[in-house]
Amino acid sequence: MKFKEQFNTIKIKKKSMLCVGLDPELEKLPGCVQSDGDAIFKFCREIIQSTAQFTAAYKINFAFFERFGAKGWQIIERLVEEIPQDCLSIADAKRGDIGNSARHYAHAIFGELNFDSVTVNPYMGKDSTAPFLDWQEKATFFLGLTSNPGATDFQYFTQDDQPLYSFVAENIESWNKINNNCGLVVGATRPEQLREIRKIAPKLTFLIPGVGAQGGSVETVVQNIGDSNALISASRSIIYASPENDFADAAALEAEKLQRQMAPFIE
């Protein structure tokens, strides 16, 4: 079953578009787990176990694990196995390289680590993205318009009255016609552009970071995209909902709150 079909099934069953971002920083973990030699894994595992009933997907941000070298990669492998079958996995790796290199990145993430999807930078063009799209059952989320302040440095560059992010969305929508396995990353902090990009790319599943700690809201996101074909991601507001021993319970409460906000918009 393709990613999009899996997502639709999960979304309807759980009444959720929630994607929980796993961005663990050792220094920010609760004291009850911080001193444990396997703290990162145990913390993330508890977050997964406590929030899974409200969650459609988990997004593992590679940077927070790669900093630990080989041990970090082992933690990623173990966490993918912890994600329940009724939740999707997203490798937030932001890969982007020439075709031959991309082929190996795709195999590592889809073939070895068995992720359901990945984030990719489309800057180097179609040939650098094809190796990911060749995995037809998987999904590739391309960076479109990100939620960080520096997005204005390049993504708003305009030529012939068309901003770069719009041109990217237009091309990704075209690539999606081949295997129907493309998605687009669009930040929740840019509601007006969300509406614009959805008109350009009506078929793409959006991955929308920026809800919670970055200030985006579920209602604003859904109203602007006009549908529920999106995974709405929250990270810090969930995983750091409490600095105490009750961190997993607090994460579950925050995840449930977001899921309840999403439920009315899901048919």
What are the b/e assignments for 8-24, b being 16+ CB within 10 Å? bebbeebbbbbbbbbbb
Q: Closest Cα partner for 238 from 229, 246, 248?
A: 248
The active-site residue out of 2, 42, 94, 257 is 94
Tell me the C-alpha to C-alpha distance, in Å, between residue 99 and each of 5, 113, 185. 27, 20, 21
Instruction: Please answer whether residues 42 and 33 qualify as being in contact, where contact means their C-beta atoms are separated by less than 8 angstroms.
Output: yes
Residue 42 annotated among the catalytic residues of the structure: no
Structure tokens at 9: 């099934």
DSSP annotation of 56 reads S
Residue tagged 């079958």 (tokens): 85
CA distance 102 to 219: 36
Q: Closest Cα partner for 240 from 11, 17, 64, 7?
A: 64
DSSP annotation of 108 reads I
One-letter amino acid identity for 188? A
Contacts of 64 (CB under 8 A, 6+ apart): 22, 23, 24, 25, 40
Q: Which residues are catalytic?
A: 94
